[in-house]
Structure 1
Amino acid sequence: MAQKDTVKNILNAAEELFSERGFAETSLRNITTKAGVNLAAVNYHFGSKKSLIQAVFARFLGPFSESLQEALAELQQRLNGEAPDMQELLMLLSHTALKAGHDSPRRLGIFMRLLGLAYTQGQGHLRRFLQKEYGAVFRTYMALVTAATPDLSDEDRFWRIHFSLGATVFTLSGAESLTAMAAHDLGKASDIAQVVDKLIPFLASGLNAPQQTV
């Protein structure tokens, strides 16, 4: 097996198993069995389980962050100092994610499950890695989100962003099941892009809702 194919098989196996079982519950032996390689191949190409976890995220986030950076630069130039629209920002982010996932509900769903696990499982090394590698582009995005929601306090914005992230992870990680349910209950087929288009106005409304005063 060529080295390129070996690396791809290991990443594919790790991606699926991590998303199904979690990081701690998936052993390197599980991954090598599914990938059809030996443990030495994992150690040679990745060095450790932590590095393999980071590589799984980098495979998606590398092209995603590059595309997002380009899209944000174009948006900032078009805005020319004006405040952005929250729904436009969400559309930009979602369309970039779909592009990175090649419009594949399965691949995007797997990544969203992994993202949810990164929040709920103790993977401090992963959060440090993501901050180091992709922090700059997301800080740019968050500055635009702040500009789009000037009436929110930092505290309210924090919670609304994380509530929105939770809704997004839930929806996209289960997109295949949701579209199947919609087809059964509503008699209407839909794809991942259509699901995202329905999700965005919901998220934008939550982020744009007037701040409550106590």
Structure 2
Amino acid sequence: MAKRVTTKEKILNAAEALFAEHGFEQTSLRQITADADVNLASVNYHFGSKKALIQAVMARYLEVLMPALEQELLALQARNKISTRDVFDCFRKPLAQLREVRKHGPTLFLSLLGFAYAEIQGHLRRYTMDHFGHVIEHLLAALHQANPQLSPIDMFWRLHFVLGATVFAQVSGPALREIAAADFGETIAADQMIDRLIPFLAGGVDASAA
């Protein structure tokens, strides 16, 4: 017997699909309620606001990703010598686990993350730090362990360049994969782009200061 989808789940599913395709700012509650086939009162009852709904959509992924990432980072930090590539490789398994949330979970999450970053959703940053700040601290500690020569301000800029490159790769991914197939004969799945992205990101963080 199929599991009955609750009203709350219908709202989350509709919001997730619309947010991943159009972004947070361009998606209205009216669109979400229409796709979920519920009324606005249901959204207000279950979430209270659009910001809270956005956080709930992201939470479904973060609650799977962050604990898994923390385990990977703690195991890595126990080693005497680590590289930036090692740190970024810690994201591979946790991202793959997002398929437990959705079949195309990794791609959906990165799309949502891209819109969150590009549209400057400050409330999401606060939510993430409030609930998973300790994981971010482990990530920063591991990166400093791999790059003790970098000052905090250098690390700040490089990590935001990493985020920017990741967002661009995700948002432009479909077009880039089409060009790669047409011009170079390479067929690559969305999830496989990380194999090309991680070495590039690590190289950027490791680069000598100008």
8 Å CA contact 1:28–1:49 kept in 2: the answer is yes
1:58 corresponds to? 59
Q: Which amino acid aligns with 2:111?
A: R
Matched pairs, number: 209
Counterparts of 1:104-115 in structure 2, within 5 Å, are 106-115=104-113
Q: Secondary structure at the match of 2:155?
A: helix
TM-score of the pair, normalised by structure 1: 0.86
Q: In structure 2, which of residues 165, 168, 188 is the aligned counterpart of residue 167 of structure 1?
A: 165
1:155 corresponds to? 153
What displacement does 1:23 show? 2.5
RMSD between aligned alpha carbons? Answer: 2.5
The Cα offsets for residues 83-120 of structure 1, whole Å up to 9 and x where unpaired, read as 32110111112332232245979543332232233233
Moved beyond 6 Å, runs of 4+:
none
Alignment partner of 1:92 is 2:90: yes
8 Å CA contact 1:113–1:173 kept in 2: the answer is yes
8 Å CA contact 2:11–2:43 kept in 1: the answer is yes
Q: What residue ranges of structure 1 are gaps of 5+ in the alignment?
A: none
Q: Which amino acid aligns with 2:160?
A: H
Q: Secondary structure at the match of 1:83?
A: coil
Q: C-alpha distance in 2, partners of 1:48/1:92? A: 34
The Cα offsets for residues 176-202 of structure 1, whole Å up to 9 and x where unpaired, read as 333232222211211234311111111
Alignment partner of 1:198 is 2:208: no
What displacement does 1:4 show? 4.1
Q: Which amino acid aligns with 1:55?
A: A
Q: C-alpha distance in 2, partners of 1:122/1:162? A: 13
Q: C-alpha distance in 1, partners of 2:5/2:71? A: 28
The Cα offsets for residues 116-149 of structure 1, whole Å up to 9 and x where unpaired, read as 3323335332221111011111111111001111
What displacement does 1:161 show? 1.0
Alignment partner of 1:73 is 2:74: yes
Q: C-alpha distance in 1, partners of 2:126/2:199? A: 32
